[in-house]
Structure 1
């Protein structure tokens, strides 16, 4: 396609995406640009035919597609980081192997914006959400955008930037903070780090599809380790920015700990429940208002306090939970 040095690197990470990957790569290769781009694919030892599809497309586009074929499974976050580090372009775009782009001018529009606005480090747009189990159902991923300019506080504890929508400036930093390197979820924390270098812009239009399916990362179970790692992540972010975002981060940490109390209740584990509940006793109205539970504030707080101070009440509550039926 282009033999010059690429202006944009398109990072594709893929694992077990055999049914979807061709649509992803076709959407990328259909881009109409005035500049050269490369496609960097990180393939993480998929058990299906994903690797064969990657090799098929690399053979068709040898000057454009670069493959990172791991010898053994390295995990989603390491795969994402290694693929990012292999990107050589001035800009990087993301598209995971089960998502795809729908507008052939997407890259050109976003690069034109970043070229013209040096104060911005990233631009994004809305996506369609496609449900594989309900093929006739399609909707915009986010309906509640209220502005076009975003910054770090807007991203904390929220998902507002679809991964398949971003183009951002490369080479802004050389070292990955430990909290990002070990993150249980990677994209929003990465965008938070980018936000420390400049502004973020939402562009109009819907130019990609975010696919929901049973094998997607968003369907992973949220057990103890997940919420504990989320606490580690946001604690690390808070320290990285010298606690200037504590007002936004502290309610998030409390919410994660509340989720841990519910897991302990489900398991009938009173010591764990008591431990996590004590971490939540600084609950405030701002937290539950933020998560749209204002009417439940006093009820939940009182219920948690009494349950944590009475093993007998804890056992009674645990027996009444829906998941206790049939035990």
Structure 2
């Protein structure tokens, strides 16, 4: 079995994919690496940059490059890439992000080798952005310790480019039952929660990658339609994991929907406002608690 598979998803990343692959190829890792690059029908020069870069791949890299003839969407592209992976461990770095530490992979795989009860490791990440409020800031503070599933879900502690996890997670019930819908947004979070059902989640305080925050990124900015899809993700997570995670999911759905309803109403987008009302009514227990608190504050 290949020791490590790296998954790179690319879409219109001509300005970023070169640095992404440079960060991957500079890794000081002893062993065979399977690099899976899935280009989701980019309309810019992403394809030519990728082909130029993989011609320079180190000898221990087995590159599998897939260029889809038609755009299939971010989540289906991710599912496709996962099916190609054969490594014992999986690492991820989306096409606009990049790794900054040549020891990243060796540090994380060594930790997993030495800790068989750990399913996933992640580390601290720095933001890179044209926006001063993000640039140079830490994505989320990470300590050298075990993290609970509730903690990483509530605070979005794990960034995708920081993860190295066991491929066995893909055989878990949680993965098979929650990663089904091709419309799921932020498919990485649901994968990390699936990992928590098979072993521990361990943080590493060392900063070893960069997260590019820009307008083209899937998680950047405020978008009401995206928020509606985000509700589907949280509903899926809550329905499967139950307990504290369901409580967090319900509050997040209600809060997001309340804010989305008010924003849509302000913009006189009554169709979208009605969609948010449906979500609010689905969380009628949370609505009752919210209205009671509002009444007590008067």
Q: TM-score range by the shorter chain?
A: 0.7 to 0.9
- Rg: which structure is higher? 1
CA drift at 1:70 = 0.7
CA distance in 1, matches of 2:83, 2:296: 45
* Secondary structure of the corresponding residue to residue 214 of structure 1: coil
CA distance in 1, matches of 2:104, 2:111: 11
Match of 2:186 in 1: 185
Q: Deviations over 1:10-50 (max 9, x none)?
A: 11111111111111101110011122212110101111110
**Residue 171 (structure 2) pairs with residue 170 (structure 1):** no
CA drift at 1:141 = 1.7
* Distance verdict in 2 for CA 1:90–1:277, change over 3 Å: closer
Per mean C-alpha deviation after superposition, the further-off stretch among 60-69 and 49-58 is 60-69
* Secondary structure of the corresponding residue to residue 96 of structure 1: coil
**Residue 56 (structure 2) pairs with residue 60 (structure 1):** yes
What TM-score do the two structures reach when normalised by structure 1? Answer: 0.78
**Residue 241 (structure 2) pairs with residue 241 (structure 1):** yes
What are the ranges of 5 or more consecutive residues in structure 2 without an aligned counterpart? none
Q: 1:32 aligns with which of 13, 28, 31?
A: 28
CA distance in 2, matches of 1:241, 1:214: 32
Instruction: Report if the CA contact (8 A) 2:145-2:203 is conserved.
Output: yes
Per mean C-alpha deviation after superposition, the further-off stretch among 134-143 and 101-110 is 134-143
CA drift at 1:243 = 5.1
CA distance in 1, matches of 2:168, 2:220: 32
Q: 1:15 aligns with which of 11, 19, 23?
A: 11
What are the ranges of 5 or more consecutive residues in structure 1 without an aligned counterpart? 288-296, 303-327
CA distance in 1, matches of 2:62, 2:252: 42
- Alpha-carbon RMSD across the aligned residues, in angstroms, is 3.1
**Residue 90 (structure 2) pairs with residue 74 (structure 1):** no
What TM-score do the two structures reach when normalised by structure 2? Answer: 0.85
* Distance verdict in 2 for CA 1:91–1:276, change over 3 Å: closer
CA distance in 1, matches of 2:191, 2:199: 13
Instruction: Report if the CA contact (8 A) 2:29-2:103 is conserved.
Output: yes
Match of 1:45 in 2: 41
**Residue 226 (structure 2) pairs with residue 230 (structure 1):** no
